Amino acid sequence: MDFETIIIEGTLILKIKGELDQYNADRYRLRFDMKIVSPEVQKVVIDISELSFMDSSGVGFLVGRFRTAKAFAKELVLVCNSNYINKLLSTCGIEKLIKKYTTIEEALS
């Protein structure tokens, strides 16, 4: 898994690429949470449009980041345009919990 973070006008954009599995979720959980709780961040956009694989640990990772953001009164949304990942998120009911967009531009507006 590879990731990059960008902060634009109070919005933290986390771009995750590759595989989001148990190994990677455990490695990056604390790093992402530290960025999410930063006082300069009001909104969090997690871009998973370049994920090639995600398992149940990846789903748990997203739900955990949502809970962290919510605990600090911050909005969290997802960007995803992969049919495979969208189907997984829909099956798990994530779409009922976290707003999802197809592009970063939509998520930022």
Domains of the chain: 2-108 (3.30.750.24)
Q: What distance in Å separates the CA atoms of residue 14 and residue 36, rounded to the nearest whole number?
A: 10
Helix axis angle, 56-71 to 22-36, nearest 10° = 10
Question: How does pLDDT run across 71-98, given as a tens digit for each residue?
Answer: 999 999 999 999 999 999 999 999 889 9
**More confident call, 75 vs 3:** 75
Say what the pTM is.
0.91
Q: What distance in Å separates the CA atoms of residue 104 and residue 44, rounded to the nearest whole number?
A: 11
Q: Which residues pair with 45 in a beta bridge?
A: 13, 77
